[in-house]
Amino acid sequence: PESKLPDVGTSIFAVMSGLANEQQAINLSQGFPDFNCPEPLMQLVTKYMHEGHNQYAPMPGVLKLREKISLKTDLLYGYLPNPDTEITVTSGATEALFAAIMAVVTPGDEVIVLEPCYDSYAPAIRLSGGTPVYVPLSLPDFSVDWDLVKSRISSRTRLLIINTPHNPTGAVMTKQDMDTLANLLDGTDILLISDEVYEHMVFDGQQHHSALQHPGLRERSFVISSFGKTYHTTGWKIGYAIAPPILTAELRKMHQFLTFCSVTPLQLAIADFMDDQQHYLTLPDFYQAKRDYFCEQLKGSNLEIIPSAGTYFQLAKYDRISDKYDLEYAKQLVHEIGVAAVPVSAFYHDKTDHKLLRFCFAKSENTLKAAADQLKKL
């Protein structure tokens, strides 16, 4: 049969983690922690399993979890979404993204995507019959050129996707970015997906600016987050989307036929664990310390560190060491020094090579030191 995505291969995250495992390399490629999630959270999961909560959850998500998400959103972003009509629990942010895109993009629509970007956006747009319209982020700091974005808006633009804090660059949008975006979309019927899965990983005293804080953006947005990032549970695949009732109703039509619902005991456990505000309030410091430790260990290496303002990723430029294409270079490093990273070209539709590698620092100090010691040999 004809392929629906003929040019799409295996995701770079699977490729690099597979290679790292095969070569027993230190894996700083795919983004996931090498330490465990909080013990009380695991105990809650087993408690709920033993109590018999092992059947389908309600389609939109366990009510208690949606209520907790609502309260947290109010606390952090000053907006109290209605759990019944505005919050949907999904199987990871990946499902929320897919469902949101499928829900609103129709054949012929254009969707503005800022590059580099997470690899699931474009396939979802294309499978919906839409066309991704790529706008590059501006070097060297990967900021948004809003005039350029404006110039790519057409009568066919249905949706725009932003991601802050940003994977893979670590760039964080400012309040001014959000204001400019709101002005740009004002008076149009363009919808917004704001991918905020790294909302609790913003460093150096900066703040995360959510689309939910901005009335002009909120009314047209799907705001997507993931407990995988916040609770060190990427393998649980529990995320959510917050959107106005009309958009939520459409998203749920997709969600109910993609997965119908997400894992019941995990939702119940997370709902209880959300009472521990300390966990997410201390997450910026927790990850900033890891970023700083990794960068400190890399001092004296020939890699050029690109400042990371958020996420658990650190970019490094290797053009002083090699002029190889980044994918080839990333593979070479696994064999040569036993360290796996993600080549940033994988986040560009045309595989633009800036000689940049992405390292995940959601790792123990031992792992970070071992990786840095190897990288200093380059």
Interacting residues toward ligand GLN by CB under 6 A: 11, 13, 30-31, 167
Q: Is the CB of 197 or the CB of 339 nearer to ligand PMP?
A: 197
Cβ–Cβ under 8 Å, residues 237 and 223: no
d(CA 238, CA 205): 28
Stretch binding ligand PMP (CB under 6 A), from 232-240, 256-264, 297-305, 335-343: 232-240
Stretch binding ligand PMP (CB under 6 A), from 50-58, 89-97, 296-304, 332-340: 89-97
Q: How many residues bind ligand PMP (CB under 6 A)?
A: 14
Sole binder of ligand PMP in the list 167, 233, 264, 297 (CB under 6 A) = 167
Shortest distance, position 166 Cβ to ligand PMP, whole Å: 7
Shortest distance, position 184 Cβ to ligand GLN, whole Å: 27
Pairing of strands 110-115, 131-136: parallel
Shortest distance, position 151 Cβ to ligand GLN, whole Å: 29
Shortest distance, position 237 Cβ to ligand GLN, whole Å: 10
Nearest CA-CA partner of 308 in 357, 262, 263, 267: 357
Residues counted in the chain? 378
3-class DSSP assignment, residue 87:
strand
Stretch binding ligand PMP (CB under 6 A), from 100-108, 133-141, 184-192, 226-234: 226-234
24-43 binders of ligand PMP (CB under 6 A): 31
Give the helix ranges, DSSP H, for the chain.
Answer: 12-23, 39-50, 63-77, 92-104, 121-127, 146-152, 175-185, 215-218, 227-230, 245-258, 264-273, 277-281, 283-297, 326-337, 365-375
Shortest distance, position 165 Cβ to ligand PMP, whole Å: 9
Binding mask 183-202 for ligand PMP (x = CB under 6 A): ------------x-x-----
104-143 binders of ligand PMP (CB under 6 A): 118
Residue corresponding to tokens 């982020």: 137
Cβ–Cβ under 8 Å, residues 249 and 86: no
Shortest distance, position 10 Cβ to ligand GLN, whole Å: 11
Sole binder of ligand PMP in the list 92, 130, 310, 343 (CB under 6 A) = 92
User: In the structure encoding, which two tokens stand for residue 218, read together?
Assistant: 């909120």
3-class DSSP assignment, residue 347:
helix
Q: Is the CB of 259 or the CB of 352 nearer to ligand PMP?
A: 259
Side-chain half-sphere exposure of 6, counting CA atoms within 13 A: 3
d(CA 259, CA 88): 12
Phi, psi of 205 (to 5 degrees): 75, 0
226 binds, among ligand PMP, ligand GLN, none (CB under 5 to 8 A by kind): ligand PMP
d(CA 353, CA 345): 5
Shortest distance, position 91 Cβ to ligand PMP, whole Å: 8
Stretch binding ligand PMP (CB under 6 A), from 59-67, 139-147, 170-178, 234-242: 234-242
Shortest distance, position 346 Cβ to ligand PMP, whole Å: 12
239 binds, among ligand PMP, ligand GLN, none (CB under 5 to 8 A by kind): ligand PMP
Per DSSP, 105 falls in state: -
3-class DSSP assignment, residue 89:
strand
60 binds, among ligand GLN, ligand PMP, none (CB under 5 to 8 A by kind): none
195 binds, among ligand PMP, ligand GLN, none (CB under 5 to 8 A by kind): ligand PMP
With a CB cutoff of 8 Å and minimum separation 6, the contacts of 241 are 87, 88, 90, 96, 99, 100, 222, 223, 224, 248, 251
Shortest distance, position 125 Cβ to ligand PMP, whole Å: 14
User: In the structure encoding, which two tokens stand for residue 278, read together?
Assistant: 């300390």
Please report, as ranges, the residues that interact with ligand PMP according to CB under 6 A: 31, 92-94, 118, 163, 167, 195, 197, 226, 228, 234, 237, 239
